[in-house]
Structure formats: structure tokens, C-alpha cells
Structure 1
Amino acid sequence: MSSHLGENLRLLCSHYRSIAQVCRKLGLNRAQFNRYLSGESQPTAYNLKKIGDFFGVETYELGLPGEQFARLIGARGNHVGAPAQQDALQTLLQPLRDHSGDLTRYCGYYFEYANCMSVPGTILLSLVHMREEGGVFMFERQERQVLSSGGQVEESARCRYLGAAFQLQDRLFLIDYESLTFNEVSQTILIPSFKSRITRLNGLKTGVSSGDRRTPACTRVVWEFLGTEINRISAYRQVMLYAPDDPRIDPEIRQILAHAPVRDGLFEVE
């Protein structure tokens, strides 16, 4: 990246109330961003793309000579460098973000145990990663509907869910969508841990079966904390379907999942 980056960034930032506001929206450290502006240091490729995406310019354009970059911005009018208009969905969710608690202590990897909605009578173990990015708590859930039978492992489906997490009052709310087929939105509600060390989180999950009828379903769910750093390959090998009596499933988890999730029309969780 050329020496013109700082000058061009200052031009783009002039469309906002302050540099601090830009840093908050970008999720970047103010001191580090000031070094970009002064030319003392250069952004990583990742941060450079984040900056370009935020302002609506290509990364290579940020390195153009100042006069050429200014003409480029002027030619594009208000579409470049001006604060992005918040769309209706962002406006709807902003109060939810504002009132959400701090989920930092819940960041890390989990095994999720749930009764499989698509293959009744089996337990689905998924791998979940919750993280914080730019002040937003997001998570990714990996599923494989794999069942080991007679020494043979057959894979019927793989799913990847992406979602956002919120803490409202004394519950954790997680909303996600299936990012490979875009055919499902699911919600998980967990009871937070009040212990100094997180081990397991219990709750309920709603979604639909991947079968032809797309049947709505609800199941109890257990999240088992693995840590903030794990061997992902080793963990992913365990992501599959299990028989309810499989000895690899902890008896306590098996007992929780065996309880009916709906009773007298109300959800009940321990």
C-alpha cells in the first residue's frame, strides 16, 4: 500500500463526526487507526479490506494519489465516504444490541447436544464457536448428519449455521440461519451459567426438519464448553449422529435430552 493511504483515509473520515466514531463502527483500535492516518504503519490485508468495505471503495483505490482519489470520490457523489444509511433490519435490531448484556465470558467452543429433528431417535452432536467481532457476539455451528453403523460411516448432510447471540435479562438468545442452503432459521434459548467456571448450558432449540415436509420441531439442548482454543480437527471428527444409548454420550446429557421439551403448552427447562 502506498504512502497516500493516510491522506485518503483522512478524506473519508471527514464525512463522519469524528475519527472515534469511525473506529467504533469499524471495530478497530483508535491508536492503531491513528497510525494508519499518520502513515506510521500499514493495515493488514484483513483490516484493509474491512476499511475498504466500510467506506465502499476498493482496497487498491485507497492507495491512489490524493488528487486522483478525491476526484474518484467526487465522481461517485454521496455513495462513497458518506455514512452508510442504516437499513430497516439494522434499525429493528439496534435496540436489541443496545440492551444485550456482555457475552464475553461465553466466547469459545462448545459441543451442542440435541435430539436430531431430521432423524428422530438419534442425538446430534454439533460444534459451536461463539466469538465477539466489532462489539457484536456471533457464532458458527457445524453439523454433520453422520451415523456410524456396522463399522461404516455414511454422511447424508452437512450444515453450517451462522448467527448472532444476545443476553436479555437472565436468558441467552441465539438466532441463526443455515448458510449453505438458506432454507432454515432456528432459535436457541439457553439458561446462563452463574458459576465462576462455565461447564454446561441447558436450554431449548426450535427449528424445522430437513425432510420434505419441513416439520417444525423443538428439542432440549445442552452446550458443553470445550475451551477458547481447541483442536478443531479432532473436535469435528466427533460431530455426527449418535444412538441414544451410545456410551460416548454422558448419561446426564442423555437424561436431559430424554425429557419432553413441551408440557401443558409451556416450555420447561431445568
Structure 2
Amino acid sequence: MPSNLSQNLSTLASYGNSVADICRRANLNRTQFNRYLAGQSQPSLQTLRRICDFFGIDEHEIFMAPEAFRELVRLRPPVLAARDPATGFAQRLFLNQSKPAAQTGYYQGYLTDPADPSNVYVHLVKVAQSGRGTAVKIIARYPRDQINLPKRLKFEGIATQQAGRLFCVIQESKMRKSTSCIVLSLGDFDNTTTLGGLILGTEPETGNEITTYQTVWRYLGKTPDLRAALKRCGVYPATGAPADLAQ
């Protein structure tokens, strides 16, 4: 009788072009893979990891009851690793996540420019699970005339977690001139409510100059008062910022 593993492998294989193509792309022995499909043998731990990485699933998921596994892959179709190294790396880094890279919901973000610490910039951040990855959206407001930017800028990006750090790559959504990398410490707990770190990227006015900012994200929850959170967004003198910014 086929095992859970063999039946689930058959489900995964149905998302590929053919067994031969899967084995060629995943660097697997075709004869041995057919034995796995037939339930005649089981892969080694190293081979199992390679199979799971190829299909973008977790190792424990492949041993689930077949009906539950079929429902899982129906809702979250496998992401077959690409042949080219660049796409494969992006998929492996950002799209093979069994859980969000950080606590999902909304954050109030604060940043300061070390070269000019006289101002505090406040923006709104949304972190959400998106398929096999973690999506990040940021809204920043610049109400002052002396700043050569639109009154509102939106950024979009993707995040991953490594060694207790949250790594985000974001880009300004409209003109796509400004791209930045954000690295935040997640602390020692799963539900950390204050994340601190650095932003390194190109400045939003032209996308030319490289800038570095210190930043803090404070968790607001999954359903905060978004109107109030957006109202707090803007640029404030460091010595005259709203009281809640200093808390």
C-alpha cells in the first residue's frame, strides 16, 4: 500500500511537466524517484530536503495525510525551483517560507538620518503573508514644502528572516527610482513588538545618492485605527515630536 510520502510525492509530481523534467531540474535519479513514487523505497534525509526545496514545501508537510496534503497544495500550489540561478536564489530566499518572516499586521515606523538627526520621519508599515512569501508595504508622508517629494510615497517589497533578523527589500511603487534594504532585529521572541535596525538604499528624490537611516518599527496590531496611524505619518522636529513618538 502506498505510503503518505509516495502519495504526496505523486501529488507534487502532477504540478511538473513530467517526472523526467522534475528529476533533471532537481538533480534527482529518475529510477530512484520512481521508486519513491511507487512506495518501494524512501529517500535519504539529504534527498528529501532537496525534493522539498525544489517544490517549496516543508519537510514535515510531505508526510501529512494525503487528503490534507492535497488541500494544502491546492491552497498553496508548489513553487518549483527555477532552472536559472538568479530566479532559483530569489525563490529559495524569499518564497520558501512556512510562516511569515515577522509578526503580520501594521507597524508605525520611525526613522532618523544620522547625518541630520534634527527630524523624525514617521510612516506606516504593513507586513502580510503572501503565498509562500512575506509582503511589505510602506506609506510615507512628506507634508513640508521644503522636502522635494510628493506628499505621499508608497513602497512595496518582500521580506525574509535569517538568524533573528528581518531582511526587507523595498522599492518606491510609482516611479521605481528608490530601492532600499532594511535589516531589523527580531529579538528573542516570536511576537516582538519593537524592531530596530537600519535602512540602506538610494534616496527617494532621484534614486541616485546612497543613504543610511536608523529605524524602529513599533507593532500596532492586526486591526489598528488606520486613520489615526496615517495621521501620525509625516516629518517632525526631533525635539517637538508628538508624545507617542518618544514612548
Q: Calculate the TM-score normalised by the size of structure 1.
A: 0.55
Which one is further off, 190-199 or 176-185?
A: 190-199
SS at match of 2:118: coil
> Equivalent of 1:122, from 119, 130, 133?
119
* Cα separation, partners in 2 of 1:122 and 1:237, compared to 1, 3 Å: same
1:191 aligns with 2:159: no
* Cα separation, partners in 2 of 1:247 and 1:160, compared to 1, 3 Å: closer
How far is the alpha carbon of 1:221 from its aligned partner? 0.6
How far is the alpha carbon of 1:125 from its aligned partner? 0.4
* Cα separation, partners in 2 of 1:16 and 1:225, compared to 1, 3 Å: same
| Structure 2 equivalent of residue 92 of structure 1 | 89
| Structure 2 equivalent of residue 242 of structure 1 | 236
Could you list the per-position Cα deviations for residues 70-90 of structure 1 after superposition, in whole angstroms to 9, with x for gaps in the alignment? xxxxxxxxxxxxx89666542
Could you list the per-position Cα deviations for residues 101-156 of structure 1 after superposition, in whole angstroms to 9, with x for gaps in the alignment? 8436511100110025998732110100000011211110011112499xxxx984
**In 2, Cα distance between the equivalents of 1:104 and 1:95?**
14
Give the alignment of 1:1-270 within 5 angstroms.
30-31=70-71, 89-97=86-94, 102-103=99-100, 106-115=103-112, 121-147=118-144, 156-195=150-189, 197-211=191-205, 214-250=208-244, 252=246
Contact 1:115 1:219 (8 Å CA) reproduced: yes
| Structure 1 equivalent of residue 66 of structure 2 | none
**In 1, Cα distance between the equivalents of 2:207 and 2:229?**
32
**In 1, Cα distance between the equivalents of 2:121 and 2:219?**
16
- How many pairs were matched up? 187
Contact 1:114 1:123 (8 Å CA) reproduced: yes
**In 1, Cα distance between the equivalents of 2:56 and 2:180?**
30
SS at match of 1:106: coil
How far is the alpha carbon of 1:157 from its aligned partner? 3.4
**In 1, Cα distance between the equivalents of 2:226 and 2:82?**
38
Aligned-residue CA RMSD in angstroms? 4.1
Could you list the per-position Cα deviations for residues 30-84 of structure 1 after superposition, in whole angstroms to 9, with x for gaps in the alignment? 54997xxxxxxxxxxxx9xxx9xxxxxxxxxxxxxxxxxxxxxxxxxxxxxxx89
* Cα separation, partners in 2 of 1:137 and 1:243, compared to 1, 3 Å: same
**Aligned residue identity for 1:189:** V
How far is the alpha carbon of 1:180 from its aligned partner? 0.9
Contact 1:117 1:209 (8 Å CA) reproduced: no
**In 2, Cα distance between the equivalents of 1:33 and 1:196?**
26
**Aligned residue identity for 2:223:** E
Contact 2:124 2:139 (8 Å CA) reproduced: yes
SS at match of 1:203: strand
Which one is further off, 122-131 or 188-197?
A: 188-197
Contact 1:117 1:208 (8 Å CA) reproduced: no
Contact 1:101 1:167 (8 Å CA) reproduced: no
SS at match of 1:93: helix
Contact 1:208 1:215 (8 Å CA) reproduced: yes
In the alignment, structure 1 segments of 5+ residues that lack a partner are 1-12, 35-46, 52-82, 254-270
Contact 1:172 1:190 (8 Å CA) reproduced: yes
**Aligned residue identity for 1:110:** Y
**Aligned residue identity for 1:233:** R
**Sequence identity (%):** 20
* Cα separation, partners in 2 of 1:177 and 1:245, compared to 1, 3 Å: same
